[in-house]
Structure 1
Amino acid sequence: MELFKTQMSVLWILLLNGNKGCHTEEVVLLNSKETQAELGWTSHPSNGWEEISGVDEKYKPIRTYQVCNVMEPALQNNWLQTGWVARRGGQRIFVELQFTLRDCNSIPGVAGTCKETFNLLYVESDKDLGRVTREERYTKIDTIAADESFTQGDLGERKMKLNTEVREIGHLNRKGFHLAFQDVGACVALVAVRVYYKRCLATVQNLAVFSDTVAEAAFATLVEVRGACVNNSEVDTDSPPRMHCSAEGEWLVPIGKCSCSAGYEEGHSSCEAEASPRWVLHCRGRRIGYLTEDRLPYGGEATLRRRGYLTEERLPTEERR
């Protein structure tokens, strides 16, 4: 019953979410496109994955890996291991792959062992495992297939059918990890690898400051964050400020609030000193000027007010800026 209540509470907060997609940040741990020098990843055996230079869709120089041993009659088992990736506090890790893959049927005389998929794997560790690839250490994330594969005709027309796939790794316990790509007989080019996690960016809501918060690994898990009141404000004891950071790195609707202290009024996400009263001078129903308290003629306030030449108002916060 308690589990049911918790699930319903999570669902209710999600339904109330009015800020979905706001204040989200992707903290990038690895982006192969940002490296123009050699990536230097570990390839085994030596006649498998090969690092080459290329350009992306914007003609920016990039380093890519490719393998295409589809004409070999023997079964293929080519491994490519990235360098060590520090987790840096990330709980739910996303792996974004951009790649091209050749249609086996478009290759003349291709062996029957030709494949149109490859495997994505990972291994956790507290330090760099070096350049030795030990297959038994790795955990499979998924088999990756292309939505679009290219043909010989596409090559002639210089068409680049780029595929993008995103996979997740959750519940990591070590300081970092290696990724691995296993080719079992495909003609594939790994154009880009981007690894990141999501966090809720620091924000101010209901006069409370909420700090950067890393999203949890489990989809239904929300991280509750207590807010700190901004300067010159006080917590509402009946409803202290708090928000929840979702697994997608999105803040859900704020709960509770802070209130400006006496002598201060709410501005834009802050509490500012209240304006002193000022006097508005009128002539024939039109505003002709303003006077603050210290500018009023001595003894003239009552007369001016009685004749309708003077009214009192407070300067709006926006105008005081």
Structure 2
Amino acid sequence: LDTLMYLSSCSILCFLIVHELVPLDFSVEILMDSTTATAELGWTIYPALGWEEVSGYDENMNTIRTYQVCNVFDNNQNNWVRTKYISRRGAQRIHVEMKFSVRDCSSIPSVPGSCKETFNLYYYETDSDTANKLSPAWMENPWIKVDTIAADESFSQVDLGVRVMKINTEVRSFGPVSRQGFYLAFQDYGGCMSLIAVRIFYRKCPRVVLNGAVFPETLSGAESTSLVAARGVCVPNGEEVDVPIKLYCNGDGEWMVPIGRCMCKAGHEAVENGTVCRGESC
């Protein structure tokens, strides 16, 4: 009964999350955002009595879809939920932002020692959407484990009584990825939790004009410490001086380490912060 109270309460209280996902910016390209779903997410569940998809609400009373599980009184749990196929769109490193709530095991009366307050995150690469209910197998290898995800805050029956949810946010990344796409999977092995929101994205450095040159949009590298070089092209009526002009895109989608510059040709002057070479007679 106590676990059922948690599940029903989460369905009602999930509107308290107030879309606290990392604010969008030009360095982020979204591959999948569960909060934007207008119908059932329809992720694949194994076994049937494990994770359950339910409806919650955001701060504007818009319906969102969440997954929850609470089989804490049964030993040897191994519950998986797998996303739909996600195209990587050229990205080499993938970021996963998860919002979730976890029940404090010590606050559940008579709960066995197998109760957990963590879950596992996995990914599986493939060139096409070929997964079914049995494949890939529900186990590590062929899946690749990203990390065990732990809650900074768990909640108790007292929190439910005063209608307070403690929402955790964790971000993990993995790479390099090289196939056309991938699946994510979340494994529960004995917790009482709700997977409230999942956002999958990659980082890029947006197109920019700097030092008299135009640098194209550039995807970040395969590792968090990677620096990807981008070659600049001088703005019209500009010409390169010194060395070939470059910028480097880091793992956070930020431009850094400018090398070289362009100057306006004779008879032109730099205006608009050096982004335009205008004829001096204009």
Q: Please say if residues 207 and 257 of structure 1, whose CA atoms lie closer than 8 Å, have aligned partners that are also in contact.
A: yes
Find the aligned partners of 1:67 and 1:185 in 2 and give their Cα distance: 9
Q: Does 1:51 align with 2:56?
A: no
Residue 24 of structure 1 deviates from its aligned partner by: 5.0
In the other structure, the counterpart of 2:144 is: 139
Find the aligned partners of 1:103 and 1:94 in 2 and give their Cα distance: 27
Residue 57 of structure 1 deviates from its aligned partner by: 4.7
User: Aligned letter for 1:158?
Assistant: R
Residue 239 of structure 1 deviates from its aligned partner by: 2.2
In the other structure, the counterpart of 1:297 is: none
Find the aligned partners of 2:165 and 2:199 in 1 and give their Cα distance: 19
Find the aligned partners of 1:111 and 1:216 in 2 and give their Cα distance: 45
In the other structure, the counterpart of 1:270 is: 276
Identity %: 52
In the other structure, the counterpart of 1:121 is: 122
Residue 114 of structure 1 deviates from its aligned partner by: 1.0
Deviations 1:8-32 (A, max 9, x none): xxxxxxxxxxxxxxx8511110100
Q: Does 1:166 align with 2:167?
A: no
Moved more, 161-170 or 253-262: 253-262
- Aligned residue for 2:259, secondary structure, equals coil
- Aligned residue for 1:259, secondary structure, equals strand
Find the aligned partners of 2:59 and 2:79 in 1 and give their Cα distance: 27
Q: Which runs of 5+ in 1 are unaligned?
A: 1-22, 277-321
Q: Please say if residues 72 and 112 of structure 2, whose CA atoms lie closer than 8 Å, have aligned partners that are also in contact.
A: yes
Give the structure-2-normalised TM-score: 0.86
Give the structure-1-normalised TM-score: 0.76
Q: Which runs of 5+ in 2 are unaligned?
A: 1-24
Q: Does 1:247 align with 2:248?
A: no
User: Aligned letter for 2:69?
Assistant: V
In the other structure, the counterpart of 2:225 is: 220
User: Aligned letter for 2:191?
Assistant: A
Residue 132 of structure 1 deviates from its aligned partner by: 2.2
- Aligned residue for 2:244, secondary structure, equals coil
In the other structure, the counterpart of 2:156 is: 151
Moved more, 97-106 or 250-259: 250-259
CA RMSD of aligned residues (A): 1.4
Residue 249 of structure 1 deviates from its aligned partner by: 1.2
User: Aligned letter for 1:270?
Assistant: V
In the other structure, the counterpart of 1:76 is: 77
Find the aligned partners of 1:108 and 1:202 in 2 and give their Cα distance: 56
User: Aligned letter for 2:233?
Assistant: A
Q: Please say if residues 27 and 252 of structure 2, whose CA atoms lie closer than 8 Å, have aligned partners that are also in contact.
A: no
Find the aligned partners of 1:254 and 1:60 in 2 and give their Cα distance: 45
Which of the two has higher C-alpha Rg?
A: 1
Q: How do 1:302-313 and structure 2 match up within 5 A?
A: none
Q: Please say if residues 51 and 69 of structure 2, whose CA atoms lie closer than 8 Å, have aligned partners that are also in contact.
A: yes
Find the aligned partners of 1:240 and 1:131 in 2 and give their Cα distance: 50
Residue 110 of structure 1 deviates from its aligned partner by: 1.5
Q: Please say if residues 216 and 247 of structure 1, whose CA atoms lie closer than 8 Å, have aligned partners that are also in contact.
A: yes
Deviations 1:109-142 (A, max 9, x none): 2222211111111111011133324124211111
